[in-house]
Structure formats: structure tokens, C-alpha cells
A and B are shown apart, each in its own frame.
Chain A
Amino acid sequence: MSMTLDSKVPSGPLERKWSKHRGESKLVAPNNRPKFDIIIVGSGLAGASAAATLGELGYNVKCFCFQDSARRAHSIAAQGGINAAKNYQNDGDSVFRLFYDTIKGGDFRSREANVHRLAEISLNIIDQCVAQGVPFAREYGGLLANRSFGGVQVSRTFYARGQTGQQLLLGAYQALEHEVAEGTVKMYPRTEMLDLVLVDGHAKGIVVRNLVTGEISTHAADTVVLATGGYGNVFYLSTNAKGCNVTATWRAHKRGALFANPCFTQIHPTCIPVSGPYQAKLTLMSESLRNDGRVWVPDKKKDPRPPGQIPESERDYYLERKYPSFGNLVPRDIASRNAKEVCDEGRGVGPSGLGVYLDFSDAIKRHGEDTIRERYGNLFEMYQNITNEDAYKTPMRIYPAVHYTMGGLWVDYNLMSTIPGLHVLGEANFSDHGANRLGASALMQGLSDGYFVIPSTIANYLATQLGKKVSANRPEFKAAESEVRLRINRLLSIKGKKSVTTFHRELGLLVWDKCGMARDAQGLKDALQKIPALREEFWQNVNVLGDGAEFNQALEHAGRVADFLEFAELMCLDALDRKESCGCHFRLESQTKEGEALRDDEHYCYVSAWEYTGPNTPANLVMEPLTFEYVKLSQRSYK
């Protein structure tokens, strides 16, 4: 079977594509908009901004989230900032430079047209957020302040202390709640999507579970928008919120949506190291810390001395040594991989040996403790609270942790998946970050998709659907609903010996080991053997107590872990197929003499989009070739 993917990228010069596309897109007349029902799943930056904007346009929106309020979506945890090519610092920034940095940062595995659009829209996002009252940092003259962020040489990052994600999300959330008050959006909190409903091949509804009462119900609409975030929790330990999961996108995949580049997972270099097996999640320390902190490990293996007693001459500031022009500000994938390397050599620090120092003593000497406190006070406090160590006096210990997933459902330029009528926004899609996301770009993409892209591209689909409304009474809805019920009953009836968390942790350790910061064919094949066995055991031996018709967190978790157990296999399969190293995907078999990632543009310059072919049969690979007209493919160098 062969399927071809049409990216629907408009023709014409790069910088004209988006305005040309908007000019040529279909429109839905204002009097027709209230006739269209739009389901949005997820209320983070992408979901909330889309719901607010589509509601404001007059569409009839239903928005679902599993949290108790839209304001709690995980976008809220983003610390560092949001990029925009405003060039307020007059330091040579431009839309093209932001585009180029993002393409290069992604190691040339994303679409030029999508990334350029993102860079263009970055300007509008800042305007929008400021108008909403997002309290960005300002200079004494009252104008907006910027800082630089990993992987670039200009200052284009806008920030609100260490709480940028929170403030941007609250802006979108408030706009959303305004639309709720206006009656254009109806919010369904504590409600989880458990399946997608297709009618004649089009996405026309969802099956959900009310997490308070356990009631299962179906909702019909003219189109479905997924903004359900990433799948980082497949690794069990990650910086994601406990509830983040792959269920919505995985269910859509099983209904026919192609899943793109699942092996592209970002490991963030600056997280607090793991302290023990009881640990439930990892905590990120903002990347902005690398602006003033210097990363080092002792020269000697297993050096028992406390950091203060190790003289300068016996320290290895390995990022500064290996990458003199970017130093501590190299992109995330490179910083993470180098941390792993020095720890693998036995030079790691802390009780587990899995950590490196991030040292602020020079910055404190240069700027004074007060300045450092003003810049990072909340982060230092957080660090002290968790580790009981004072980073003003002793270097922080950091280690990489899973943070973001660049892969996601495949979408075309309109953000529509391979299922007609199913749109996918934000981290849940694959589209803009290639094989590695640059810092402060996730917030930009979520808001670009939600505020500015989908409100214009969704009409291209909806305009073809006038008069084609379907009702939730159709048999397709009943069938999907009963499948969901069966699955829940099955989970509750196993009453085995192992808890859901035990399975989740086992899966996480396995994929971290085999499909984490470095991968090779042997390890991936091993994982591909072990995952189905673990999944089999899960369905024989998991213990989920209580019943389905009540508030039951173990049951929620069980459904999510069941999906992770299927998804993990696809992630490893994708990693095995891609024999090159690129971005965050480091194949041990493909490295340069200096141990850097070695891309193979001749054989792997494509998006891997995987088609579901049924349980226990390998997914089918469909390639979208990537062509570059405006940038020259080059080996990334940050030296």
C-alpha cells in the first residue's frame, strides 16, 4: 500500500507563502460560523488560544481538559521565555534569522514554510500578549526587555520573571474565560478524551470520560482540534506534569492519523538530578541559568572532594573547551549529550554520579549576589527547597531529563492531520521544531498555532462541510463509546499483582535506557522485544482498584499507561529506522570523529510518518521528503 503526503505548502517565495495562503484560503461567513461546532481537546497555550479566538470569531466551541481548570495545563510550567523577531535590541535580529536559527537548531528536519510562518507570526504574538496584560519584563524606560537563550547569538526572548509560561497561559485562559462568559465556548474541565469518532473517514467527534462521575459520553462536531501536548511521560520520569499523556494523539493515530518523528524527544540539560526510585517527577531549572552559570566537572574520575576544594586547574569546563563560540549556551541536545558523556567517563558529580556542576561563583563575583538573586532568585529557592543546598554558596548539580517532544501527529500547512477534519496544534503536532527545539520556542509555537494559524486555516476544511452536520446518535458514536467502556471494564477486571505505577516506571526505565540520549540498533531491537512483553504482562497482571463510575485516579493512569505501552514501540521503531544522528536523536553508529551527531542528508532528509496497521503488526512508514530552497544544509557547528 502506498500513501503520499501532501504538505499543502503554498507555492511562491518563502516570505510570501503565508500571506498568499491567507489570501487564497476559504472563508466562513460570520452568519455561518455559529452553525459550526468545533471540539478542542486541551487548554494549554495552543488549545486555550485557539478556543478563545475561534469563539470570538463566532464559532460554537467546546473545549475539554483533564485538569480541574483550563489554567492548569502544563504550558504553565514553562519558565524561560518566548522568542520573537522584534529586534528591539538592535542586535541584528530579523524574521529570517529567527527562521534560520529554528531550522538549524532543529538540525534541518522541519519544513521551511512552517518555520518561516512561525517566525513571522512571532511578532504578532508579543503584540497580542502585551495587549492582554501579560506582565513581561520591562526596562526603566518602560519598554520591553529581552534576554538571550540557548543556541542563538541575539537577545530575542521576552520573559515574565521565571514564569513566562504561566503568564502567557493566564492571558490565553482569561481570553478563553471571557468567551465562556460570552457563551461562545463551553468548557469541560476534569474530562478526558478517550477516543476519536470518524464518520465517513472524517473526524466528527470524541468519546470522553467525566473524571468526577466516571460517566462516558460522546460529543459530535464539524471538526476536532487536538492540542493535547507531548508524550514525554512515556519515560515515566520527565519534567512534564504528572497528567501529561499520549492518549488523545495515540487514539487518533489508531483511527488513522499518521504519527510523525516519534523518536525526536528532547532531553533538557538543566534539571535537578534524580535522587531515588520513589521519585515521581523531575524538576527543570530554566535554561536561562546557562547565561550566567558555568558548567564543569572535575578532571579526575570519581573525585571525592567537595566542589569548593577542587582548584580551577583541575576543573573541566567542557562546554567552553569544546564549543568556544557558544560555550555554555550551546543548544539543548548538545549540552545534554556532553553531560552524559562526562558522566559516562566517570566524572559525574553528586551521590549518583549522574550530575554536573552549574557554577555561579564567577557571575556572583562579577555582578554581585543581588543581581544574580534578582535574575534567578526563584530558581535558586526552588533548588534549595528540593536539594537542601544553597546555590549561592555551592554549585548547582544538574543532569538532563526528558522535557519536550518534537514528534507528534503529522499535519499539513493547514495543521490538518491525515484524517480530514482532525487538526492538531502545539506540541501535539510535529511541525516546527524538527529534531530539536530551541529554547523559548515552544510557547511561540503554541500561541502561533492557536491565535493565528488555525483561526484562518480551519475555514479551508469547514467551508467544505456546510450542511454535513452529523449527530452523536449515529452508530459510529455508539460503537466507539462501547469500545471505550469495554476497555475500562477490562482494566478494572484484571485485579493482578502489580500497580499501574510499577508498570509505568518499568517502561520508563527501559525507554530511557534504550531510546534516551543515545541509541543504537542493538538496544532498540532489545527494547522492541521487551515492550510487547511488558504490555502483555500489563494486561494480565495490572491491579486497578475501585470502579469506573466514580472518581478514580488509578483508572485514569491505567488507561494512559496502556497507551504509552503501545506508543513506546512506535517510538523505538522510528528510532531504529533513522540510522543517522540528528538533533536530539543520537545514533551511536552515526557520529563524527569528534563525537558530534553525524547527519545523513542523502538517506534521511525526510519526515517519518507512521501509519497504524493493526495491533501487533509493525506500523507502515510513509515519508515526506524535506526540500530546502532557502537554507543550505550544513553540519551544525557551535564551535
Chain B
Amino acid sequence: MNFKLKVWRQKNAVSPGSFKDYDAKDIPSEASFLEMLDIVNESLTGNSEDPIEFDSDCREGICGMCSLVINGIPHGPGKGTTCQVYMRRFTDGDTIWIEPFRAAAFSPIKDLVVDRSAFDRIIQAGGYIVVRTGSAPEANSLPVPKHNADLAMEAAACIGCGACVAACPNSSAMLFVAAKVSHLGLLPQGQAERETRAIHMVREMDELGFGNCRNYYECEAICPAEISATFIARLNRDYAAASAQEALTV
């Protein structure tokens, strides 16, 4: 298969970027999207042109390292991450636009690589259950209803890739925050810190320059881990409860 690529090239965070044209030639239809870019990079290197920089690591859809907006869609066509997009999804001769995830809170690094460390900062604000190593009670001493455990797992499946932010017109990180708040808040172990967690994580999100949620649901539509936007309602409830609690205690 052959493709025309329009790829965002940007030398570093301070230089302006622009789209450049490349030909992707003789690509096997069984190749993944990132393998297609590998092939293009091999030919660029052979011509002494700087290869296209992009993030990836596990290439099995779980680490959340790969990004890319393909033809305007974060992680490209179909469900799952960019590394799980296969070229058989495209038609021979297609023109494909490739851009980085764009958001005020994700600053550019180079070409298609952006800095998503803001997500770590949000977790630092409260995305955990504090438990000193060695102090845990016997695991089966605390039954968790299967329904809650399953729902917590659904929220916990978030891979932290940032596609929800890239897809949101407001660049909001609400789905990411909601997934963590719901995962921990659905479990009995997470109750002690439930309210402070919600309020601290949301505040950190605001401070880092993510926008607010306007219920566009673009995040849910794009999420490779299929995190449901109903978790945002759960977050809103915890946040409201925590805010009321805070107002009363002041």
C-alpha cells in the first residue's frame, strides 16, 4: 500500500511547527500504524533526513505512551490506542494527517512528542490510598461486593494516555480525574480519603491549565480504555459533597 502523509514537524518546544509531506511506500497491509512510521523513518534516515519523532513503548495498547492525532482523531480510527491501528483500515493512496495531542497543559517536546507529566501531578494531588507498606490487613478481611469491584476495575483501566484531553474542545482532564476518583472511591479501602481526593485532584487539574467539563462526551467516544463518562457524574457528586463539607468546616 502507498500513502501520502502530512506530518507535524516541530524542532522543539520554542520553534514553530508545520506540516511536511512524506510518501509512505510499499507498506504491508498487516503493518501497524507505528510500523508504517518506522518504515518511513528508515527511509528518511537512509536519505539523511531527520526521522519523525513519536512516542511509543509497549506497542500492545496498555502502557499509554503512544499518542498521535490521525486524521483529526486522537489514536486514529477504531477503538484502542494508536499502536493498535493497522494499515488495513486505510485505503491504498489515502492522504493521512498526523499531529501531536494538543492541549495547553501538554507542552510540545519535538515533532509528535508532547509532555504529559501534568497527569502525574494530578495523581500526586490525591490519586492514591495511603497505606504504609507492611501495615495492610489480611486481604480477605474486607469483602468487596463483586459489582463494586468490577466497576472499580472498569474505572481503573485508564491508561493515562491523554486522548480524552486531546479530544475535548476544552482540553479538560475530567475523564482522567473521574476514572481515578471512581476507581478508589468505589472501594471500601478508598473511603477515608474519598472527599479530599476529589477536591484536591480537581483543583490541581484546574491549576495545571486543563479546561472544565461541558459534557461534550468526546472523551468517552475516544477513550481507548473505554472509560465511561458516567464516572464524571460520580466525580461531580464527590466533589460537591467535599465542597459542602469544606464550607461547613471553615
Contact = CB atoms under 8 A, between A and B. Distances in A.
Interface string A147-179: 000000000000011010011001001110110
B132 interface: yes
A386 interface: yes
Given A74-B58, A74-B63, A280 B189 contact: no
B96 interface: no
Interface residues of B, number: 78
Nearest to A386: B86
Interface in B29-80: 30-32, 34-35, 38-39, 42, 45-46, 48-51, 53, 55-65, 78, 80
Interface of A: 49, 52-53, 56, 67-72, 74, 76-77, 86, 88, 124, 126-133, 135-144, 160-161, 163, 166-167, 170, 173-175, 177-178, 180-181, 187, 189, 212, 239, 241-243, 275-276, 278-281, 283-284, 382, 385-386, 388, 451-452, 455, 499, 501-502, 543, 545-546, 550-554
Given A139-B146, A174-B127, A386-B32, 17 more contacts: A56-B132, A68-B55, A71-B64, A74-B63, A76-B62, A76-B63, A124-B134, A128-B131, A128-B133, A135-B150, A138-B143, A144-B140, A167-B156, A281-B59, A455-B133, A551-B110, A553-B53
B124 A180 contact: yes
A368 B103 CA distance: 45
Nearest to B78: A385
Given A127-B138, A127-B139, A128-B131, A67 B12 contact: no
Contacts of B156: 133, 135, 160, 167, 170
B16 interface: no
Given A127-B138, A242-B57, A143 B143 contact: yes
Contacts of A502: 42
Given A161-B153, A543-B45, A56 B133 contact: yes
A85 to B, nearest CB: 12
A52 B134 CA distance: 12
B5 interface: no
Contact of A550 (B12, B28, B64, B187): B12
Contacts of B27: 278
Interface string B190-222: 100000000000000000000000000000000
Given A68-B116, A177-B123, A177-B124, A53 B58 contact: no
B142 interface: yes
Nearest to B36: A278
B31 A131 contact: no
A69 B116 contact: yes
Given A545-B50, A554-B51, A68 B117 contact: yes
Nearest to B61: A382
A69 B118 CA distance: 10
Given A127-B139, A135-B183, A280-B34, A385 B86 contact: yes
Contacts of B127: 174, 177
Contact of B38 (A86, A129, A501): A501
Contact of A72 (B30, B42, B48, B57): B57
Interface string B97-135: 000000000000110010111011001110111111111
A507 B34 CA distance: 22
Contact of A69 (B45, B80, B119): B119
Contacts of A136: 149
Contacts of A170: 156
B60 A283 contact: yes
A551 B57 contact: no
Contacts of B64: 71-72
A137 B137 contact: no
Nearest to A74: B58
Given A280-B38, A499-B46, A133 B119 contact: no
Nearest to A140: B146
A77 B58 contact: yes
A137 B30 CA distance: 34
A64 to B, nearest CB: 14
B35 A278 contact: yes
A162 to B, nearest CB: 9
A279 B35 contact: yes
B45 A241 contact: no
Contacts of A132: 128-129, 131, 136, 189
A572 to B, nearest CB: 27
B117 A69 contact: yes
A501 B44 CA distance: 13
Nearest to A495: B48
B197 to A, nearest CB: 11
Contact of B139 (A144, A175, A452, A553): A144
B128 A142 contact: no
A546 B50 contact: yes
A197 B46 CA distance: 36
B82 interface: no
B157 interface: yes
Given A142-B146, A241-B57, A280 B124 contact: no
Contact of A241 (B49, B58, B86, B142): B58
18 contacts: A52-B133, A68-B55, A128-B134, A131-B136, A133-B152, A133-B187, A135-B152, A163-B62, A178-B128, A178-B130, A239-B60, A241-B63, A242-B57, A281-B60, A385-B80, A501-B38, A551-B12, A553-B51
